[in-house]
Structure 1
Amino acid sequence: MLSTDLHLHFEIFANGLHGDPVPYIGLRDAMLELLNFFEKDMLKLSRYIQIPREDALQSMKLEMIELFKMNNEC
């Protein structure tokens, strides 16, 4: 998959090798870390979405989780 838009790349670099972080921190923990990392950005962006703020935040979080799961399955 080629990404031409803004995206997040999350990986582990150890002993000169790149790797998937999921085996080290677990899928659930990885998703929670990413959601926490982007919380402030999502709050800022929610001001520009023309739906209630909580709905906008939930939509962004759900989309991030779905993308993360989809990328993990590839």
Structure 2
Amino acid sequence: MSNASLPPNAPMMNGSLTSSHGEADASSSLEHICARLHSQVDSFLAAPPSDDVTKRTQEQTKITLGVIEKALEDYELAYPAVW
């Protein structure tokens, strides 16, 4: 399988952001991870599709992001009382 359609700096395997014990790497804050993922998704969506599967995946990703955006606008996040 070719990695030609992956965004730059995409992780090559699951768990690449965690240590061998499943704990987050101390240098990777949630904010940093979210920013990196945002950049990778933006790069993927901005790239010209190389085939029909990539084009459909980009279209579905845009739909999914719209659904998430709408949910974040419509519903508030309830924090536990212990916070």
With normalisation by structure 1, the TM-score equals: 0.35
Greater CA radius of gyration, 1 or 2?
2
Larger proportion of strand: 1
Larger proportion of helix: 1
